[in-house]
Amino acid sequence: MITRLQFVRNALLNWSALLVGLLVPFFLSPFTIHHLGNVVYGIWILVVSSVSYFQLLDLGLRNAITSFVSKSNTLGLYEESKRIVSTAVWLRIAISLIIIVLSIPIAVWFPHIFSIPAGFSSQARLAIILTALSLAVGLASGVPSAVLAALHRYDLLSGTTLARTIIRASGFVFLLERHYGIVSLAAWELASAALMGVILTFLCARTFPELRHFMRPPEPAMIRKLWSYSAYAFLITVGGAIINYMDNAVVGIFHSPVAVTFYAIAANLILYSREVISTMSNMFVPIASGFEAGGKAEQLRGLLLRGTQASLLLSLPISIVLFLRGRTFIALWMGADYGSISGRVLQILLLNQVLTVANLTSAGIVYGMAKHKPLARWALFEAVTNLLLSLLLVRRLGIYGVAWGTAIAGIICNLVFWPRYVSRLLQIPARTYLWKAWGYAVFAAVPFAAACWYQERYWPASNLIVFFAEIGAILPIFGLSAAFIFRKDLMSFVPRRLSAAFSGD
């Protein structure tokens, strides 16, 4: 079982890798847009979004592997872990081959679906093939990543993620400065994915030697066991793919690649800010699996409350700044032409972002407990509602209508379904859960939001350095407010730490 110190270490390493992962796109995104231009960058976004749907063929295996290996390892059932991992590897290899085959017709029809200018058709087709190969390699090497997660070796996963981020960005800068296009970018994606696959496989073999010589023919019993978990995870993944990637396709079909660029700037900021919490909530999957296997219901409830509080305390300052000052930030970051349109899209998408982040902790726990079956219905409901509303509103409101479709569908699911389900699952009153997990953090953010609004109205920033200096100047307000709201927890935490220190624990 993971200790609190190990959890904190893993979280810090995850966030360190994530910080680099956020800083790199901060500099790389405007660099890429300005070197490729709005049209070509829009095509690149459509290429990546189209290929991303192949992630559905993962069939929810990653969380299944992490959950089963975590439980088996907790109980000392190493032979069962071998059988699960071996079967998963063969399944992933088969899936990767299917992706490669399916990418060919997608590449052929891609320029016609999105009205790609004739001069860019062949580049777009080749970029589709290379990007699909990159995804296939990533899925094939995803099994060792899932095993490392089950063993709580997020330090190794974070290091690998950090290395790939740096390698990928360095290659992009090198290629773009020499005026290479999206085909070269896709080829570099493939090379970096292959390298990371080799590294992850090596690290997994060193960390979990019990898995050596594990390759054996796939077992029908293990396939059924994995599918019993991953079938519903697959449906959730289908819903997530529609929610995260269909927006760009709708904008591309009803407008143009240029409009995709404006929408993608806002959508990517949402994804980047969500990653801050996803890295932590993913760590809850093996922890919850261990607690559930040991019958530790009270620890699960504590993980839910504290994890949700931590998620909101980390995400609320980011969301507040992006909502109140996002237009200014985008204008200073990307250029004045992007601030108004992308900034408004960002504000609409943020209406649901706060609720989504608040529920990421409970999602990790539900996955860890293998109680995610009901989530599939709601994920598909949200995806279908999102798509229908986006198609309905895009004709009336343009790209803002697409954003409203995404926001409305998400708000319904995050407010109606999640709190009721997780409260019933962990046997905690919904009112207690919402007040302690959500309410405390929201109240802690109110003074910071007021200060941020005042800055935007009366203290405008002239460049990014001034912008970040202004945000840094008011961040202590949030820290002091959070310390006051959670003062009882802090006062009880310090004596426990001092007692543990003196007792040698």
CA atoms within 13 A on the CB side of 475: 12
Query: 134: burial class by Cβ within 10 Å (0-12, 13-18, 19+)?
Result: buried
In whole numbers, what is the pLDDT of the chain averaged over residues? 81
Q: What is the pLDDT of residue 446?
A: 93
Nearest Cα neighbor of 130 from 58, 198, 51, 59 is: 51
Query: Does the structure show a pLDDT above 70 at 60?
Result: no
Region of poorest pLDDT, from 216-220, 342-346, 499-503: 499-503
Question: Dihedral (C-alpha) 132, 136, 137, 138: value to the nearest 10 degrees?
Answer: 100
Q: 351: which 2 tokens?
A: 């209406």
Q: What is the pLDDT of residue 238?
A: 74
Q: For the segment 337-391, what is each residue's pLDDT rounded down to a tens digit? A: 888 899 999 999 998 888 888 787 777 777 777 777 787 788 888 888 988 999 9
Q: What is the pLDDT of residue 502?
A: 35
Overall average pLDDT of the 401-418 stretch: 88
- Rounded to an integer, what distance in angstroms lies between the CA atom of residue 356 and that of residue 312? 10
Q: For the segment 250-291, what is each residue's pLDDT rounded down to a tens digit? A: 888 888 778 888 898 888 888 877 776 666 666 666 677 767
Q: What is the pLDDT of residue 472?
A: 92
- Considering the chain, what percentage of its residues have pLDDT values greater than 90? 20
Q: What is the pLDDT of residue 496?
A: 47
Overall average pLDDT of the 23-34 stretch: 82
Q: What SS3 class is residue 115?
A: coil
Q: For the segment 154-167, what is each residue's pLDDT rounded down to a tens digit? A: 778 778 888 888 89
Cα separations (Å) of 12 from 6, 18, 44, 58, 390?
10, 10, 33, 28, 38
Q: For the segment 153-202, what is each residue's pLDDT rounded down to a tens digit? A: 777 877 888 888 889 889 999 999 998 999 999 999 999 989 988 888 88
Overall average pLDDT of the 128-155 stretch: 83
Q: Write down the pTM of the prediction.
A: 0.69
Residues 375 and 383: beta-carbon distance below 8 Å: no
- Rounded to an integer, what distance in angstroms lies between the CA atom of residue 438 and that of residue 310? 10
Q: What is the pLDDT of residue 129?
A: 93
- Rounded to an integer, what distance in angstroms lies between the CA atom of residue 122 and that of residue 221? 45
Q: For the segment 220-249, what is each residue's pLDDT rounded down to a tens digit? A: 777 777 766 666 777 777 777 777 777 888
Residues 259 and 394: beta-carbon distance below 8 Å: no
